[in-house]
Amino acid sequence: MTKKDKLITFFSETRQETELLCEPLEIEDYVVQPIADVSPPKWHLGHSTWFFEEFILKKYKNNYQLFNKDFAFVFNSYYETVGKRVVRSDRGNLSRPSVAKVYEYRTYVTKEMEELLSNNSSEELKSLVLIGIHHEKQHQELLLTDIKYILGNNPLLPNYNDAILEHKVQSNNSDWIKMEEGIYEIGHKDITQFHYDNELGRHKVYLHNYEIASNLVTNGDYIEFIDNNGYKDHNLWHAEAWDWINTNSITQPMYWHKVDGIWHHYTLNGLQKVDPKTPVTHISYFEAFAYAQYKGCRLATEFEWEAAQEKFNWGQRWEWTESAYLPYPNYKKPPGAIGEYNGKFMVNQKVLRGGSIATPSNHTRYTYRNFFQTNLRWQYTGIRLAK
């Protein structure tokens, strides 16, 4: 297969995978937005399509005809450079365009893109298409977590799909991995391979001796924290976190329900008993920090995580780190709208490393820097202790 054919296949498969994720949905599920952070599936389908139209087809395809001139207003997420848009919290109020129309839009843009890619194999186009593909993969993960939130906050707790296994027992017993003091290189190495701008520049950090757990914290560990009044001891919590748990009556991870005295949680397979052996998930940074305090430990920095990652298995849960989301030394924000992808979010967020069971398998990598605000927990987040 030529390089050009590989890119077209990668693009087309990604587009299909997104639609497959929506196959188990009923039409009503596509439009709901229970909270501002959770976008309706219909919006994800349209937005990931608009990205290709706005940043690629409009610029590179001769005489490209927009599918609908109003869709930029509906499906632009946060790109100030390209104009006004629907406010985020109003995405669930859009009964139009219909789901059928959004699927038509997808088909139209997919075809136009495939035609463009078979006639133009410039490096500049290729690098933008790869951003578009990986952007769509990020939205595949968001689709799953947003669908989970939509169905998991429906009182009937419907099943989404039996095929997805959210909770897997970790293969080995947990151990402490000892890491030597010294200089480590951090950041994306091979710039010919796909990466986001925030993974550059590669740079040196000095780390002191530390230990990092080989396993993620389990549900059983976390139940012990709850039972030992972890949510009631202010000593374990940041001031902002203490206000947050009290204001919002947070006493357990998101999706947990006690049924007849036994912990259950909503999963994409419906309501299930919590398995004490599988890694805890849907916890905020605030809770990850408090749990680490309770154990007399701490969270790893993102640098400690990256330096040690070869020595443990990762990929079940996005792992909260103790690192603020900041630019690396020599970070360069790209010009124009693509520069809005990462750089403008480098304030008031923590870095998460690894990936989760909802992350597409060919999307994450050990230098990948995910980031969320400290109170958010609808992603598959988890805890790895350090000391």
* Nearest distance in Å: CB 50, Fe ion: 9
* Nearest distance in Å: CB 49, Fe ion: 11
DSSP sequence for 75-129? H--S-GGG-----GGGGGG---S-HHHHHHHHHHHHHHHHHHHHH---HHHHHHH
235 DSSP assignment: G
One-letter amino acid at 175 equals D
Contact stretch for Fe ion (CB under 5 A) within 65-73, 74-82, 83-91, 163-171 = 74-82
Nearer to Fe ion, 237 or 341 (CB): 341
Q: Are strands 381-382 and 318-324 parallel, antiparallel or unpaired?
A: parallel
196 DSSP assignment: -
Nearer to Fe ion, 177 or 376 (CB): 376
Q: Which two tokens stand for residue 50?
A: 């608009």
* Nearest distance in Å: CB 160, Fe ion: 22
Whole-number Cα distances in Å, 225 to 23, 131, 219, 296, 328? 38, 41, 10, 12, 35
* Nearest distance in Å: CB 278, Fe ion: 30
* Nearest distance in Å: CB 150, Fe ion: 18
Q: Do the Cβ atoms of 243 and 214 come closer than 8 Å?
A: no
Residue 379: partners with Cβ closer than 8 Å, 6 or more residues away: 141, 145, 282, 318, 352, 356, 358, 372
Contact stretch for Fe ion (CB under 5 A) within 71-79, 83-91, 97-105, 271-279 = 71-79
The residues facing 372 across adjacent strands are 350
* Nearest distance in Å: CB 33, Fe ion: 15
Nearer to Fe ion, 77 or 278 (CB): 77
Contact stretch for Fe ion (CB under 5 A) within 34-42, 73-81, 140-148, 151-159 = 73-81
Sheet holding 270-273, edge to edge: 256-259, 262-267, 270-273
> What track of x and - describes contact with Fe ion for positions 75 through 104 (by CB under 5 A)?
--x---------------------------
Nearer to Fe ion, 131 or 383 (CB): 131
Whole-number Cα distances in Å, 97 to 61, 137, 206? 25, 23, 53
One-letter amino acid at 221 equals D
User: Tokens 């998101």, residue?
Assistant: 254
Nearer to Fe ion, 77 or 370 (CB): 77
* Nearest distance in Å: CB 135, Fe ion: 6
The number of beta carbons lying within 10 Å of the beta carbon of residue 28 is 9
The number of beta carbons lying within 10 Å of the beta carbon of residue 79 is 20
Contact stretch for Fe ion (CB under 5 A) within 22-30, 70-78, 354-362, 378-386 = 70-78
Nearer to Fe ion, 88 or 298 (CB): 88
* Nearest distance in Å: CB 379, Fe ion: 15
Nearer to Fe ion, 144 or 241 (CB): 144
* Nearest distance in Å: CB 341, Fe ion: 8
**Residue with nearest beta carbon to Fe ion:** 77
Q: How many residues does the chain have?
A: 387
Nearer to Fe ion, 77 or 252 (CB): 77
Contact stretch for Fe ion (CB under 5 A) within 69-77, 259-267, 271-279, 322-330 = 69-77
Contact stretch for Fe ion (CB under 5 A) within 72-80, 96-104, 250-258, 266-274 = 72-80
Nearer to Fe ion, 78 or 169 (CB): 78
By the criterion CB under 5 A, which residues form the site for Fe ion? 77
